[in-house]
Structure 1
């Protein structure tokens, strides 16, 4: 059986104020093309279809079109809710949708109920576990006390293995889970799931499963031989600028053996981090005009209206910060300050704080302020 493992779509997410719905629709359409080209049997989406519990109408429309494109490839779709999704909203009409080949798992009470599929070699049980918030999952899973993620995931997997034991001999198994598994590396744009205890779970909690499709971490990676994160289809932080986004193509052999192939998705708009003075940026870097940019300016004096000026040349510049070159200035001692005029103290202060003296217009303002202050003192 051939699976396409994806996760963390985060439809509706913005990136430093930039709307990404167009980017997301483009890349999810490309995902459907990969499913069609590779004759995928099952698409597994391991949580976080949406970026927020109450997605906008536009986000829902993008998700609907993406799922429709995937279903039109002939693949069965199995999706579970993540920590960003509202499980009740995502799971609405799930019984009706299953009849059309879209299987949604959003309820803790369903963790031991697989979606049963089959190929020429026999049955495959797919267990799609929704994100398990410990405080909410502990009662339906029968976990006492105030458990953490490890305890509730272990309880859920006990139910999975108990159900699997009732299936016919040779039944292969797939688990989709949204969790931070020990050994994984965060990409930088994930939301913490630490509420309710230690946020991570150990890999051995998934023992006995042929393939584990993980979601939550946004960088693609392997955790052992039978466990992988697909990562997000788009980068959602500048720390992910070097990531290669895509999905795992998983072939599940007749005996449960796993072979994989990484399928890259197209880059909608590259992410770049660039450092330099305002003039250096405005005069150079012609290859970055189409990139999402994070800019660090190194001018000795803070440029005026930096974002407006940058966007005239780089329309997709998203963040700008100012880090002037380090300047070593010896701080004046109390004795030295006592011998300085007010004008000298202000000049020393500016030099230490920003590494430059006042501009002519700034000096005019300072002179006026000092003169007004002296008049007030004289009147008192």
Structure 2
């Protein structure tokens, strides 16, 4: 069985001069890729929309793309995420994708609640919507206890979905040979986090990726860095660069060959997101040093560090020059000299940045892989001179 896995499209996001249609084109590209590769099943593992109240334009984009899959007779399974999940905690009927489920389109399966879906002749799919730890609302529990309880409940929910599939193990059962796929939007203990590391620290419920071992493939969403977290489990990652902090990540869809009782064979299909580029300029440098052309349509973060008071006209001229060299949008950040010197003096007077970050991380309840990625981001940010 050939499956296309995509995630975290965030249709409706518009930033850095980019319109809503840009992120919508990623969902269109997902559908184009599914049709071009004649896949048996397409899977979108959460955050199809950027918000819980998508506007008419976003709804039209997703509805039209979904119709193309229906016309191509390619089944589609969608899970909900934290961005497009329940408007009311523990109320599945408030799921953002509820309208699509209500349409009952042929071959379109929407996981607005935990369920096992049989895609006839293709796969048995367990879908688990995003589970927020606020659902464990016990004021008698500490934050750590509530997080641990949420993780236990989440892992038990996944195990229960797997147990439901054991009823297919009878040799005479019609579904005995169907590949078993898990689709969910969640964080695993071993995942390498990207720009969302600070957000995840101490907030998200995490699970041991070994919980996916009974499945033939686990199609995961939520983490924007595409990666494999166990022999059976992969994050597709986001197909677009959503902001600075993701600009170095490889963006992709995953084409997966899945068979019952065998580890999946995964082929990475790179996407082509708009480039995001960072540049630092100081008054001590010649402005011509940033005269190199940018990729057409690039988004640029320009960090200005003048040695004295900067004439705003100079900054505007530099932004205009970057636009003429291909930049779509230039975000400027100006550091005042005294701010830069004060930061330097404070850092010199205190312990090294790495020691400060390590001391703070030691107080946090999070997996070591999460701490390592958060440390990397924090040290890089605090070390800017």
Which residue of structure 2 lines up, in the alignment, with residue 319 of structure 1?
331
2:215 is matched with 209
User: Partner of 2:281 in structure 1?
Assistant: 276
Secondary structure of the residue aligned to 1:287 is coil
On the 8 A contact 1:282/1:313 being kept in 2, the answer is no
Q: Give the TM-score normalised by structure 2.
A: 0.73
Equivalents in 2 of 1:282, 1:51: separation in Å?
38
Counterpart for residue 296 of structure 1: 303
Deviation at 1:89, TM superposition (A): 4.2
Rounded to whole Å, the distance in 1 between the matches of 2:128 and 2:62 is: 20
Match of 1:36 in 2: 35
Instruction: Assess if the C-alpha contact under 8 Å between 1:220 and 1:230 holds in 2.
Output: yes
Cα distance, 1:65 vs. partner? 2.6
SS in 2 for 1:239: coil
Distance 1:49 1:148, change over 3 A: farther
How big is each residue's C-alpha offset from its partner over 1:84-133, in whole Å with a ceiling of 9 and x where there is no partner?
Answer: 113324242455444422111112xxx1x3111244xxx62111210011
Q: Confirm or deny that 1:12 pairs with 2:12.
A: yes
Q: What is the root-mean-square deviation of aligned Cα atoms in Å?
A: 2.9
The aligned counterpart of 2:124 is: 125
Residue 198 (structure 1) shift: 5.7
SS at match of 2:22: helix
Once the 2 structures are TM-superposed, how far is the Cα of residue 49 of structure 1 from its aligned partner? 1.0
Instruction: Please give the residue correspondences for 1:1-380 in structure 2 after superposition, counting only pairs within 5 Å.
Output: 1-16=1-16, 18-87=17-86, 88-107=94-113, 111=114, 113-119=115-121, 124-136=123-135, 146=146, 148-167=149-168, 168=173, 169-189=176-196, 192=199, 199-267=205-273, 269-277=274-282, 280=287, 284-288=291-295, 290-305=297-312, 308-315=316-323, 316-323=328-335
Q: What are structure 2's unaligned runs of at least 5 residues?
A: 87-93, 139-144, 346-385
Q: Which runs of 5+ in 1 are unaligned?
A: 140-144, 332-380
Gap change, CA 1:307 and 1:128, over 3 Å in 2: farther
- For 2:73 and 2:262, the matched residues in 1 are separated by 23
> Could you say if the C-alpha distance between residues 229 and 104 of structure 1 is closer, same or farther in structure 2, counting changes exceeding 3 Å?
same
Instruction: Decide whether the 8 Å contact of 1:302 with 1:322 is kept in 2.
Output: no
SS in 2 for 1:209: coil
- How has the CA–CA distance of structure 1 residues 173 and 273 changed in structure 2, closer, same or farther, with 3 Å as cutoff? same
Alpha-carbon distance, 1:10 to partner: 1.0
Classify 1:251/1:138 alpha carbon distance in 2 versus 1 (closer, same or farther; 3 Å).
farther
Cα separation, partners in 2 of 1:93 and 1:271, compared to 1, 3 Å: closer
SS of equivalent to 1:192: helix
Contact 1:233 1:247 (C-alpha < 8 Å) held by counterparts: yes
